[in-house]
Structure 1
Amino acid sequence: MSKRAKISMIILLSVVILLILLAGAVFTASGVFKKAKYLDPWKRDYVDQFEDPRVKLAAFGLLAPNGHNMQPWKIRLDKQNPLKFSLYADNTRLALESDPVARQTMVSQGTFLEYMKVAGEQLGYRAAIRLFPEGEYDEQKLSESMDQKPVAEVTLSKAQPAANPLFDYMFLPDTNRMAYKPDPLTAEQRKRLEQTNTDEVLKLTFTDAPADIKKLGEYGVEGTDIETGLKRMNDESADIFRSNENQKNKYRYGFSFEGQGTTGMKKHLLQGMITIIPSFNNEEASTKLAVDAARTAAEHSPAYALILSKDNSRTSQVKAGMLYSRLLLAGHEQGLVMQPLSQVLEEYPEMKAPYTRIHQEYAPGGETIQFLIRLGQPTQDTPLSMRREVTDLIAD
């Protein structure tokens, strides 16, 4: 071998070794070898470690969809009655910028209660739920009131276990932000979804009319564009973004790449790069990604659903969340996935114009739109999101 060839070979080997070392550093920074403890609550046998039926049901409630994946739930176990507990909104887990009036926090209380109720039927416990047993909040002292007044008082009674057809679907990801297939809802699917609304104070409507599809998609894009254009919103999201496996295991709530449908080696590559070079995930890049994703979603949504309430009371907000859980689980049963488009329904000054317009057009009777939901058949699966230990929800 000539001297030049030897030098070229040495250079090539050096480059290969350097690339291997760099890849190793990136994947190590991502935490590729770390056990994903934040996914433990999704395992079917997770609840088996607990004897208290209240804790078991709370562990199922923990899987419920919730705003910003903040998991804003707190449980107080009754010390006198082993079948009774109270659910409180956790005032340390509020998204004060994007959800300043805590409406999303309250609908998240409802999603928890409904998941717990479905699980109770499966395990042989009937759950009697009494909303706001001590009255609704003092809105002038909201945070303090959340700590003092329970959202719900839950009393369990033993019953014959009954297979609930929705139970198995609790273990699926709750939100799919990807493109959906163009297939419209069938008459059977629509009928099944309509049956989930059993509350007279709520209205559940569906639309697949081309004009509505276009208009509601535009609302989704507009809301995302406004929200991501505000620094305080981006800062709030950045504060709860978990960039690697270590952070996800430590915090176990908030956002991560999985929420964008990113999995496998690509996920670890991005996590590692951001961990090593945090500026890689800058505000401009995140904004563009979010708006592009909203446009893609708008262009691939065959149907929308809206959940409206006659008023915007805290009770109605919780009931809307309960209905959304039933709707989501019934949708999974029918092979459908969903994504709530929350931005255009958020209540802060910059969002007032589109918020007002969408209510004028789709809630002309003065109702409050609690959920705007795109739904359809998935083109790809999305991964599960982080969940805390159920024991972290139990307060003294």
Structure 2
Amino acid sequence: MMNRRRFLGIGGGCIVIAGVTSYALSDRRNLVRNDLRPDPIPRLLLKKDERTILYLASLAPSGHNTQPWFIKRLQPYHWIVCNDQTKWLTAVDPTQRETMLSIGAFLQNLEYAANNLGYACQFELKAKTNRDEEVMEVRLVNADLQAKYDTDHIKQRRTMRSGILPVELKQEDVNDLINKDIDFVHFIPPKTAAYRHLNEQTLEANKVQSYRDAAQKELANWIRFSSKDAEKYRDGLTPGSMEIEGFTGWVVRNFYGKPNVMKNGFRDQNIEQVEKQVATSGGWFVITSKNQSVTSLLETGQRMQRLFLKVRKKGIAIHPMTQILEEPSIHQGLNSAIGINEPVQFILRTGYLKNYPGAVSLRRPVDWLIRS
């Protein structure tokens, strides 16, 4: 997101000088998921298993961490997973394609979490378009399951932007990660023409998007600079999730706001950081779908999440970089350039990590997800 070493230069030396003493007397670390206090008295009389399953489902990834879902609870263990229009990213996702992919990831987490507690999921599709509010009806039924999914994989999943090593993924790791999704998940190794195209066009798309005011304003609206706002909203991008730590993180939390995002210095630093990111990776994963239908997008979101939940145990990072797909002028010619015919839905930078930190992105409490 930003070049942390140069970040202080935007604010000017006066912030640094004035801040040294204050830093010693105030919060020195980012607000992260484990810091969130649980609601002392839950508002809703949810069953314990319902609360656990829905929380784990909510740990799915989404663009700018908008968490574009809510739940209509019809009866205990009988819900409708819904599309939250207030969380749409209209500047970068005008068709709500990414919204459906995110809800697909939510559904995959939900199924795994239900499985862990001994429930099978009965799904019934409700949505006909990406903009329909009611997406999927879900009933949970007790089941005698032979194997239960380890939900620690869901809790520990994390997007990593930095620290990815320029070492090509081992073929055995690629095979294990793709497994049965070989028709839809494609690995693009380094030193290939497709790899170079993705590097170059990801950078170009970020240049376009960073200077497209509507997209930049939308980004600004989802950055929770202060710990106060982060705890209030429990969504969006925080300094912690953007990997801005230490004194720089403190400056961001206390001195930055939406107007800074619209300044050229902020935009240029984002582009500079992307240039460094695409220069170091072990390859790209590209995930395709059969078509652009709601069913296909939801299935593709589930497919991406299954991949994402496998990588940590191998010390492999995934960094979604979707800008090529969000900028029509850059998107044209993508398929022919990388040799793939089917619709591309995810472009994921990947590679090995030396150290894999814990999850930090915030989540709204389960009670906030429930609507009548």
Range into which the TM-score falls when normalised by the shorter chain: 0.7 to 0.9
For the pair 1:303 / 2:273, whether they are aligned, the reply is no
**Aligned residue in 1 for 2:343:** 368
Counterpart amino acid of residue 114 in structure 1 = Q
Question: Are the counterparts in 2 of residues 181 and 378 from structure 1 also a CA contact under 8 Å?
Answer: yes
Question: Are the counterparts in 1 of residues 69 and 82 from structure 2 also a CA contact under 8 Å?
Answer: yes
Of 320, 326, 331, which residue of structure 2 is paired with 1:355?
331
**Aligned residue in 1 for 2:55:** 59
Query: 1:332: Cα distance to partner?
Result: 1.7
Q: Hey, which of these two has a bigger chunk of helix by percent?
A: 1
Counterpart amino acid of residue 51 in structure 2 = V
**Aligned residue in 2 for 1:94:** 88
Question: Are the counterparts in 2 of residues 196 and 330 from structure 1 also a CA contact under 8 Å?
Answer: no
Counterpart amino acid of residue 346 in structure 2 = F
Give the alignment's TM-score, normalised by structure 1: 0.80
**C-alpha distance in structure 2 between counterparts of 1:376 and 1:122, whole Å:** 29
Q: What's the CA shift string for 1:33-67, capped at 9, x where partnerless?
A: 9976785499xxx9xx9634333211001111111
**Aligned residue in 2 for 1:10:** none
Query: 1:160: Cα distance to partner?
Result: 4.2
**Aligned residue in 2 for 1:177:** 161
**Aligned residue in 2 for 1:114:** 108
Cα RMSD, aligned residues only? 2.9
**C-alpha distance in structure 1 between counterparts of 2:218 and 2:153, whole Å:** 31
Question: Are the counterparts in 2 of residues 196 and 327 from structure 1 also a CA contact under 8 Å?
Answer: no
Query: 1:371: Cα distance to partner?
Result: 0.5
Mean Cα deviation higher: 383-392 or 335-344: 383-392
Q: Where do 1:79-90 residues align within 5 Å?
A: 79=75, 82-90=76-84
Question: Are the counterparts in 2 of residues 68 and 254 from structure 1 also a CA contact under 8 Å?
Answer: yes
For the pair 1:223 / 2:205, whether they are aligned, the reply is yes
Counterpart amino acid of residue 186 in structure 2 = T
For the pair 1:377 / 2:358, whether they are aligned, the reply is no
**Aligned residue in 2 for 1:204:** 185
For the pair 1:328 / 2:322, whether they are aligned, the reply is no
Question: Are the counterparts in 2 of residues 41 and 59 from structure 1 also a CA contact under 8 Å?
Answer: no
- What number of residue pairs does the alignment pair up? 351
Q: Where do 1:200-279 residues align within 5 Å?
A: 203-211=184-192, 212-274=194-256
**Aligned residue in 1 for 2:177:** 193
Q: Which has the larger radius of gyration?
A: 1
Counterpart amino acid of residue 364 in structure 2 = R
For the pair 1:285 / 2:265, whether they are aligned, the reply is yes
Query: 1:298: Cα distance to partner?
Result: 0.8
Q: What's the CA shift string for 1:81-137, capped at 9, x where partnerless?
A: x2211101111110111111111111000110111111122221122223x23x512
**C-alpha distance in structure 2 between counterparts of 1:325 and 1:266, whole Å:** 32
Mean Cα deviation higher: 372-381 or 240-249: 372-381
Query: 1:176: Cα distance to partner?
Result: 0.8
Mean Cα deviation higher: 211-220 or 58-67: 211-220
Query: 1:327: Cα distance to partner?
Result: 0.3
Question: Are the counterparts in 1 of residues 223 and 237 from structure 2 also a CA contact under 8 Å?
Answer: yes
Question: Are the counterparts in 2 of residues 77 and 85 from structure 1 also a CA contact under 8 Å?
Answer: yes
The 3 A distance-change label for structure 1 pair 68 and 196 is farther
> What SS class does the counterpart of residue 300 from structure 2 fall into?
helix
Query: 1:208: Cα distance to partner?
Result: 0.7
Query: 1:157: Cα distance to partner?
Result: 1.4
**C-alpha distance in structure 1 between counterparts of 2:180 and 2:307, whole Å:** 6
Q: Which runs of 5+ in 2 are unaligned?
A: 1-15
**C-alpha distance in structure 1 between counterparts of 2:107 and 2:35, whole Å:** 21
Q: What's the CA shift string for 1:358-386, capped at 9, x where partnerless?
A: 12323653x21000111111245455112
Counterpart amino acid of residue 395 in structure 1 = R
Counterpart amino acid of residue 76 in structure 1 = K
